[in-house]
Amino acid sequence: MGGRGGRGILAAPRPAGPITEPTSMKTRLSPVAPSPSLPAVHRRQWLAGSAGALAAAGIGGWHGEAAAEAAAAGKPLPDYVAWKDASSLIVHSSNTLETRRAAFGTSGITPAERLYVRNNLPPPAAAIVADRDAWELAVEGVKSPRRLTLAQLKGLGLESVATVLQCSGNGRGYFPSKPSGTPWTVGAAGCVVWSGVPVRAVAEALGGVADGLPFMTGTGGEPLPEAVDPKSAVVERSLPIKALDDALLAWEMNGAPIPLAHGGPLRLIVPGYQGVNNIKYIKRLAFTAAESDAKIMSHGYRITPAGGTPDPSQPSVLEMNVKSWINSPQAGPGPLSAGLVLIQGVAFSGGGSAVKRVEVSTDGGRTWRDARFFGPDLGRFAWRQFVLQARLPAGEHLLVSRATDTAGRVQPEQRLENLHGYNNNSWVDHGVKLVLA
Amino acid sequence: MGGRGGRGILAAPRPAGPITEPTSMKTRLSPVAPSPSLPAVHRRQWLAGSAGALAAAGIGGWHGEAAAEAAAAGKPLPDYVAWKDASSLIVHSSNTLETRRAAFGTSGITPAERLYVRNNLPPPAAAIVADRDAWELAVEGVKSPRRLTLAQLKGLGLESVATVLQCSGNGRGYFPSKPSGTPWTVGAAGCVVWSGVPVRAVAEALGGVADGLPFMTGTGGEPLPEAVDPKSAVVERSLPIKALDDALLAWEMNGAPIPLAHGGPLRLIVPGYQGVNNIKYIKRLAFTAAESDAKIMSHGYRITPAGGTPDPSQPSVLEMNVKSWINSPQAGPGPLSAGLVLIQGVAFSGGGSAVKRVEVSTDGGRTWRDARFFGPDLGRFAWRQFVLQARLPAGEHLLVSRATDTAGRVQPEQRLENLHGYNNNSWVDHGVKLVLA
């Protein structure tokens, strides 16, 4: 066949030229400092699989992910999530586990073993997932209210949707005001596929939503601590009834029954809304005339001015906002493409809008270039992965990303200050520093 | 707010009416018999999570999945896949594990713990995934052939693609001729997301493919048995060079580094091609003048006429063909929708064509109705999930599905007979019998 065809295809591989150490081994990466003096964080690598190496690297001096990773080093996984991949997670507490920035992978879907956990109450006993189909949900505020078992729900319809699941406190670690609560950086988020029955199909099977009920209220099945007012502890959230359009009562996550830690046997999924609204172990779904008066609704998860006091008149944490961050700069092999760096991350929005553009800057936001989306488009509620190849000289580079959604909303430079550190989508906060030798 | 708004949203759920046992508890489901006397298979349920119950049901008399499930009951997982979900798998042998029909889930992506395994040789020692980035690939048949480490490959590009991975012997269990080899029914297949570098980007970085080399040949890194001719054992496959267009050198599967059992640290992924062509532990990628003379290429995986002898002139097992099957009939709750059954399954094609239509018949193929696709569209190399809601009376129903792809190819009624039982996409073979009480 001519050309080099004379070489037998079973011949031993010919000796290759000398192999230069890839530039990736020399990368230095750290969060961009929101405050003056940020020590450089030295990391050998920044990709899935190398998470273990990060904890070992000399990290410190800042209250964000570096400090969190250092503090979490060696903390074991709680029993109920013993099946998770410890090297992918930062254990803040038994109810708060964060995915390492290096552990998101590049497949679009976050594996269950790497997905963050944030429980407002300790999860129920594992007995509730022993006979999943027997789980009961009370449906109220429909023409024919009744209890339905999970087995019955499974007969009413089937849909599957990929959504970003994100704690509204994700990014709290970047607030210089150090709000109380877990100092999440980027890892209180993931993108997963849920399967279940559309809430609309359930409501229709029960005669439809009764008239004049503008809220959809979900109640979690966590056992409540004794000796406290149940309303002060119950996980119960009310959403505007338009959330019904996309909501799912889900029994499956990423192709398997939802693990207890993630709300199995049955979870309310409200695509586009912050995590707390996706009620775990849902035991009651009610269309209601008013918002719940449970404390987690009336005073919790409110956008309270810094220095203020939470009250029900303040905006609640509902739909997510447009956001992106960078997960993995990675340098190319020296002799083939010296200075070439692949900058990769994720971008998403809320309110039913997909992300349509991501720009990346390697100089802290002075100049921008469009990144390329890659991988399957999992729909408007999922995140998109982006990548940009850049040729960078030795030295320090401040990498930031800025997303725009289909509604034209642009990720802002600055966070909106608030008492509890919710809804941080500042692009400058989420930047990373890359040091090339 | 009117209506039923007077009910306090924290009131105890109102007592529901008497709950009739859902019809799903009475379903009876079994493979459709290709041969005369098929005993009815009694199954309480047919959904993810209930796989354990299937093995316990009284099954027998046929060489297909029923017999396989019975035979596999109690066989432990081999050590190298001890991390898998045993209840989702049929263990045929240490190198052949099949996903149960009930365990595919309805999320589109097959979780790693449930994905089938088919090795032509035992996998290499786990040491090769201890330092993944050090894995070396020899690239030949390019202008500048050389060895590249995985770390170097990671710098050359990044893409992510969802593909159906399917053993070409999937469906062999339905051949009445009982070909030698594992009697897979539907479970030697899955749909997973791979991330890696496009082969084209690697070739371009090395000066491009040398002239006149019409094949892309991949060689696996399995240790070869001693005292045999290496060519009789090595896993080496050659594909027409057009496969280059979509091929990936992948290091990640479903968001995590590829497990050893699935070809990590580095696997050649050729979207649209049968599983054997997706070389695990790839150690050499060569553009070649001729097909490999390894036995697995010259005589293995050939479409040999029944009763014939394999030889290199016969068609090789390359691109997949259009195919679908049903995974889960599921009955609705009696009092709400008596006789309503959700019929759900998966459909895909090969050769770069997506599936565009699936019809479902509940009378063994006499009449057909279009099913609805649901869930994210993961691209033309992935499978689509379909669902059809049907109202069925008591009695026996033969459920079959028939897919059509974007090239207009229609899944055939009958299998193409061949010596080894490859490429079975017969819709009648893949049908299931549903018995409603």
Burial class (CB in 10 A: 0-12, 13-18, 19+), A224: middle
Q: Which of B9, B254, B342 sits opposite A155 (nearest CB)?
A: B342
Is the CB of A2 less than 8 angstroms away from the CB of B289? yes
pLDDT of amino acid A67: 56
pLDDT in tens, A96-135: 999 999 899 999 999 999 999 999 999 999 999 999 999 9
Is the CB of A107 less than 8 angstroms away from the CB of B155? no
Instruction: Please tell me what DSSP assigns to residue A273.
Output: B
Those residues with Cβ within 8 angstroms of residue A330's Cβ, 6 or more apart along the chain or in another chain: A24, A27, A45, A46, A47, A341, A342, A344, B154, B155
pLDDT of amino acid B341: 86
Distance CA B31, CA B326 (A): 10
Could you count the other beta carbons within 10 Å of the beta carbon of residue A175? 25
Of B419, B415, B434, the closest CA to residue B171 belongs to B415
Distance CA A96, CA B352 (A): 43
pLDDT of amino acid A68: 57
Is the CB of B48 less than 8 angstroms away from the CB of A256? yes
Is the CB of B106 less than 8 angstroms away from the CB of A158? yes
pLDDT over threshold 70, residue B67: no
CA dihedral defined by B142, B143, B144, B150, rounded to 10 degrees? -30
pLDDT in tens, A306-359: 999 999 999 999 999 999 999 987 433 333 334 788 999 999 999 889 999 999
pLDDT of amino acid A395: 86
Taking contacts as CB-CB distances below 8 angstroms, the residues of chain A near B284 are 13
pLDDT of amino acid A59: 22
pLDDT of amino acid A341: 86
Contact predicate A325/A190, CB 8 Å: no
Of all residues in chain A, what percent carry a pLDDT higher than 70?
Answer: 81
Please provide residue B314's backbone torsions phi and psi, each rounded to the nearest 5 degrees: -80, 155
Helices (H) and strands (E) in chain A, counts: 7, 22
pLDDT of amino acid A321: 97
Is the CB of A16 less than 8 angstroms away from the CB of B145? yes
Is the CB of A4 less than 8 angstroms away from the CB of B375? no
pLDDT: which is higher, A220 or B21: A220
Q: Which of B109, B140, B257 sits opposite A255 (nearest CB)?
A: B109
Is the CB of A205 less than 8 angstroms away from the CB of B337? yes
b/e per residue A78-104 (b: at least 16 CB within 10 A): bebbeebbbbbbbbbebbbbbbbbbbb
pLDDT of amino acid A340: 81
Tokens 């349920």, residue located: B45
Please provide residue B130's backbone torsions phi and psi, each rounded to the nearest 5 degrees: -75, -40
User: pLDDT class for A173, splitting at 50, 70, 90?
Assistant: very high
Of B28, B23, B26, the closest CA to residue B432 belongs to B28
* Test the A interface: residue of B23, B158, B262 with most A CBs within 10 Å: B158
CA of A2, closest CA in chain B: separation in Å? 6
Burial class (CB in 10 A: 0-12, 13-18, 19+), A320: buried
| Lowest model confidence (mean pLDDT) among A397-401, B334-338, B427-431 | B334-338
Q: Which of B14, B195, B293 sits opposite A107 (nearest CB)?
A: B195
Helix, strand, coil abundance in chain B, percent, nearest 5:
15, 30, 50
Is the CB of B14 less than 8 angstroms away from the CB of A140? yes
Contact predicate A370/A353, CB 8 Å: no
pLDDT over threshold 50, residue A34: no
pLDDT of amino acid A72: 61
Distance spanning both ends of chain A, measured CA to CA: 45
User: pLDDT class for B167, splitting at 50, 70, 90?
Assistant: very high
pLDDT over threshold 70, residue A212: yes
Distance spanning both ends of chain B, measured CA to CA: 45
pLDDT of amino acid B227: 83
pLDDT: which is higher, A361 or A437: A361
Distance CA B52, CA B59 (A): 13
Average pLDDT, chain A: 84
Q: Which of A106, A133, A159 sits opposite B158 (nearest CB)?
A: A106
Distances (CA, A) of A310 to A300, A314, B103, B296: 7, 7, 46, 69
Distance CA B316, CA A406 (A): 46
pLDDT in tens, B243-269: 999 999 999 999 999 999 999 999 999
pLDDT of amino acid A437: 80
Beta A267-269 vs A248-253: how paired, if at all? antiparallel
pLDDT of amino acid B339: 73
Contact predicate A64/A183, CB 8 Å: yes
* Test the B interface: residue of A45, A47, A109 with most B CBs within 10 Å: A109
pLDDT of amino acid A394: 87
pLDDT of amino acid B395: 86
ipTM, 2 decimals?
A: 0.84
Those residues with Cβ within 8 angstroms of residue A69's Cβ, 6 or more apart along the chain or in another chain: A54, A55, A59, A90, A100
Stretch A86-103: mean pLDDT: 95
Could you count the other beta carbons within 10 Å of the beta carbon of residue A298? 17
pLDDT of amino acid A339: 73
b/e per residue A370-407 (b: at least 16 CB within 10 A): ebeebbbbbbbbbbbbbbbbbebeeeebbbbbbbbbee
User: pLDDT class for B66, splitting at 50, 70, 90?
Assistant: low
Of all residues in chain B, what percent carry a pLDDT higher than 90?
Answer: 75
pLDDT in tens, A154-165: 989 999 999 999
pLDDT in tens, B78-93: 999 999 999 999 999 9
pLDDT over threshold 60, residue A269: yes
pLDDT of amino acid A127: 95
Of B267, B288, B161, the closest CA to residue B222 belongs to B267
* Test the A interface: residue of B10, B27, B206 with most A CBs within 10 Å: B10
Stretch B104-131: mean pLDDT: 96
Tokens 């029954």, residue located: A257
CA angle in degrees (0–180, nearest 5) for A158-A164-A169? 135
Structure tokens at A57: 């690297």
Could you count the other beta carbons within 10 Å of the beta carbon of residue A339? 14
* Test the B interface: residue of A23, A43, A107 with most B CBs within 10 Å: A107
CB-side neighbour CA atoms (13 Å) of B184:
26
pLDDT over threshold 60, residue B344: yes
Distance CA B328, CA B331 (A): 10
pLDDT: which is higher, A155 or A290: A290
pLDDT in tens, A404-431: 999 999 999 999 999 999 999 999 999 9
Of B38, B32, B64, the closest CA to residue B174 belongs to B64
Phi-psi label, residue A112: left if phi above 0, alpha if psi -120 to 50, beta otherwise: alpha
Average pLDDT, chain B: 84
pLDDT over threshold 90, residue B310: yes
Contact predicate B418/B312, CB 8 Å: no
pLDDT over threshold 50, residue A35: no
User: pLDDT class for A14, splitting at 50, 70, 90?
Assistant: very low
Please give the model's pTM, rounded to 2 decimal places.
Answer: 0.85
